[in-house]
Amino acid sequence: MSDKSFPDPDAYTISLDTEIIKILTWNLWWKFEDYKFREKLILSEIENNHPDILCLQEVWEEEDESQARTIANKLDYNYIFEKSFEFDGVSFGNAIITKFPISSHKKISFNTTPDKDEKRFLLHLELEYKNKISINVFCTHLNYKYEHQPERMRQVKQIMEYMSQLKPSKFPIILCGDFNADPDSDEIRTITGLTKPINDIVLRDAWKLVNRDDPGYTWSNENNWAKKTLEQDRRIDYVFLGKSGPNGLGYPIDCKIIGNQKNKFFPSDHYGLIAHLVGLSQ
């Protein structure tokens, strides 16, 4: 019998001197309630946490003013905003804001049934990281009604089918957003491979990798705005990641909730979620 041992092909060694890339996802609650005061709190949270990539939902834009542009200018970042619909002259949509150069972007509208059409879509940006490594980052916001579960499943299927067509990159796919679905739902289980995956695409739940015993509610009755809806506490906002690259590239080493200080005014009805990912060695 041979004495030779073999290395584990699935094992990673993460260097301690890597750059950290911070990814924020947050539903900003459009122009509801006292949006001007809330926007100050949102900007304060963002500046305190210094994210490198922001995936934002329910972002507003008007003819002469843009929430995404305001945030991007504050950080001196690049941004792309795409609208879902317009109400009384104010757009409602998703934005990705980033310090990295944007190589390309695409809006993928979801196929839907007319009576359940909430104008939802997937926003895809390809970013240029060090050594010309591509980062494919996605921001989405799925249908919100409980009874629209079949619609959310169709949306998830379309997302995963689209991702399966991408050219591989050393940096794992990043999918962020408000999915309006709990971790044990069929929608989330499909994304994370706990039920039949779509086109062999399986992503990891960053929160669960780092905070195994914390429910991580992003919709909480401790938040005055959320409490008024008379719904239960839920974790419905996520950062999903593809399989880590070389030396753990893109692996989450921290994941925390922001915007959850117990004040009279909360920045949004959702809490934000920020993940710290392993970058390249410095």
Q: Cα dist. 192→44, 118, 205, 238, 279 in Å? A: 33, 25, 7, 11, 22
Q: Which residues contact 166 (CB under 8 A, 6 or more apart)?
A: 136, 173
pLDDT tens for each residue of 65-100: 999 999 999 999 999 999 999 999 999 999 999 999
pLDDT at residue 61 greater than cutoff 80: yes
Q: What is the pLDDT of residue 168?
A: 92
Judge whether 171 and 133 are in contact, CB under 8 Å: yes
More confident residue, 6 or 134: 134
Residue 282: closest CA among 54, 21, 12? 21
Which pairing describes strands 134-141 and 121-128: parallel, antiparallel, or unpaired?
Answer: antiparallel
**Contact at 8 Å (CB) between 208 and 188?**
no
Backbone angles phi, psi at 37, to 5 degrees: -70, -40
Mean local confidence (pLDDT), 260-275:
92
Give 213-245 pLDDT, tens digit per residue.
Answer: 899 999 999 999 999 999 999 999 999 999 999
106: nearest Cα among 66, 63, 137, 85? 137
Rounded average pLDDT over 117-144:
96
Superfamily of 18-281 according to CATH:
Endonuclease/exonuclease/phosphatase (3.60.10.10)
Kindly state the percentage of the chain with pLDDT values over 70: 99
The pLDDT of residue 57 is 98
> What integer best gives the mean pLDDT of the chain?
94
151-187 pLDDT per residue, tens = 999 999 999 999 999 999 999 999 999 999 999 999 9
Please report the pLDDT score of residue 183 as a whole number.
97
So what's the pLDDT on residue 11? 78
Q: Who has greater pLDDT, 157 or 281?
A: 157
pTM, entire model: 0.96
Q: Within 10 Å of residue 30's Cβ, how many Cβ atoms?
A: 19
Q: How far is CA 56 from CA 1, 229, 237, in A?
A: 58, 22, 11
> How far apart, in whole angstroms, are the C-alpha atoms of residue 18 and residue 40?
32
Mean pLDDT to the nearest integer, 130-141: 94
pLDDT at 16: 67
Beta partners for residue 272, in sequence order: 258
State the pairing for strand pair 90-98/102-109: unpaired
Residue 139 is which amino acid? C
Among candidates 70, 1, 2, 13, which has minimal Cα distance to 36? 70
Predicted confidence (pLDDT) at residue 115 exceeds the cutoff of 80: yes
The number of beta carbons lying within 10 Å of the beta carbon of residue 116 is 15
Q: Is 210 exposed, middle or buried (0-12, 13-18, 19+ CB in 10 A)?
A: middle
Nearest-CA neighbor of 204 among 162, 175, 235? 175
**209 by DSSP, 3-state: which?**
helix
pLDDT per position as a tens digit, 22-50: 999 999 999 999 999 999 999 999 999 99
Specify the pLDDT at position 206.
98
Q: What are the boundaries of each domain within the chain?
A: 18-281
